[in-house]
Amino acid sequence: MPSTGAGELVILMFGLPGGTEWVILAIIALLVFGGAKIANVGKNAGKAIREFKEETAAIKKDGKDEPTKDSTDSTDSTDKD
């Protein structure tokens, strides 16, 4: 029998949280952090996800998903002495 890590052992012993456990965790988080702070965290997470999606869409649209040329490339026209 293969050995399990500590994290796997905890999951096997207690299982993943179900519906009631998530509600209890949400109430505890609300009491500890307050409603305004949790709302700000959610708002900032939403902004971060939206910006990430916009940037990945822009990269796909522009076709810039290939690696860029190295700045030390000898064909660079900006390096004139």
**pLDDT higher for 14 or 43?**
43
**Would you list the domain boundaries of the chain?**
34-64
Of 12-16, 44-48, 58-62, the poorest mean pLDDT is in 12-16
Q: 44 and 51 in contact (C-beta within 8 Å)?
A: no
Distance CA 67, CA 56 (A): 15
Q: Inter-axis angle of helices 19-33 and 35-62, to 10 degrees?
A: 110
| Band of pLDDT at residue 56, cut at 50, 70 and 90 | very high
pTM, two decimals, is 0.47
| Band of pLDDT at residue 63, cut at 50, 70 and 90 | confident
pLDDT for res 80? 53
**pLDDT of residue 71 exceeding 60:** no
